[in-house]
Amino acid sequence: MQRPPAEGHDPVAIAETALDLGITYFDTAPSYNNGQSETNYGQVLARRRKEVFLACKTGDRSYDGTRRSVEQSVKRLRADHFDLLQIHGVSSRDDLATWGKRNGVVAALRKLREQKMTRSIGVTGHNSAEILQRSIEMCTFSTCPNSSRSSPRLTPSSFGCMGSRDSNATR
């Protein structure tokens, strides 16, 4: 879904076909080809949002930056809410202590959930099982990844997550 429409490539038709075949989980992020993925999905979501579980991510780690990122994603996706918003690509470079501060990404995601802009919040990552575990231990997320390059056996049940620690999430 990251490529723009071109001869022989119609991302709208791909998404429409996926929905028609029963695939209802759409996952995107503003970093996927500079928002092109969101723009492509938006053409379908404008008409078929109720059929989709919409997951999106933010790469920003600040409160204000997260709010701006989500606002831009909503516009590109032509959606009024998300089913899941996630902190994108947690890595060993992240300063997790700043996440939970008043001006951090977690505070922004919690506020967005309170405002019904998202039903659930989560975290994604691919590089470090240790940093994922630390992020999950310090925050209550509705979702977490089920694998990692550094630990292929890392599963949601390893952390007791997937909603079990987050009583505010809609399941």
Give the pLDDT confidence of 65-75 residue by residue, as tens digits.
999 999 999 99
Give the per-residue pLDDT at 74: 97
Q: How far apart, in whole angstroms, are the C-alpha atoms of residue 17 and residue 9?
A: 13
Mean pLDDT calculated for residue range 6-12: 96
Most confident among 10-19, 85-94, 131-140 (mean pLDDT): 10-19
Task: Tell me the pairing of strands 25-27 and 53-58.
Answer: parallel
Exposed/middle/buried for residue 47 (C-beta within 10 Å: 0-12, 13-18, 19+): exposed
pTM of the predicted protein model: 0.80
For residue 91, pLDDT beyond 70: yes
Question: Each residue of 54-64: pLDDT tens digit?
Answer: 999 999 999 99
Q: How far apart, in whole angstroms, are the C-alpha atoms of residue 69 and residue 61?
A: 10
Looking at domain 11-159, does it have CATH number 3.40.50.150? no
For residue 9, pLDDT beyond 60: yes
Mean pLDDT calculated for residue range 45-58: 96
Lowest-pLDDT choice from 29-43, 84-98, 110-124: 84-98
Q: What is the mean pLDDT of the chain?
A: 82
Give the per-residue pLDDT at 143: 61
Q: How far apart, in whole angstroms, are the C-alpha atoms of residue 138 and residue 140?
A: 7
Mean pLDDT calculated for residue range 85-99: 81
Residue 100 binned pLDDT confidence (cut-offs 50, 70, 90): confident
Question: Each residue of 138-156: pLDDT tens digit?
Answer: 766 666 554 444 443 333 3
Give the per-residue pLDDT at 161: 31
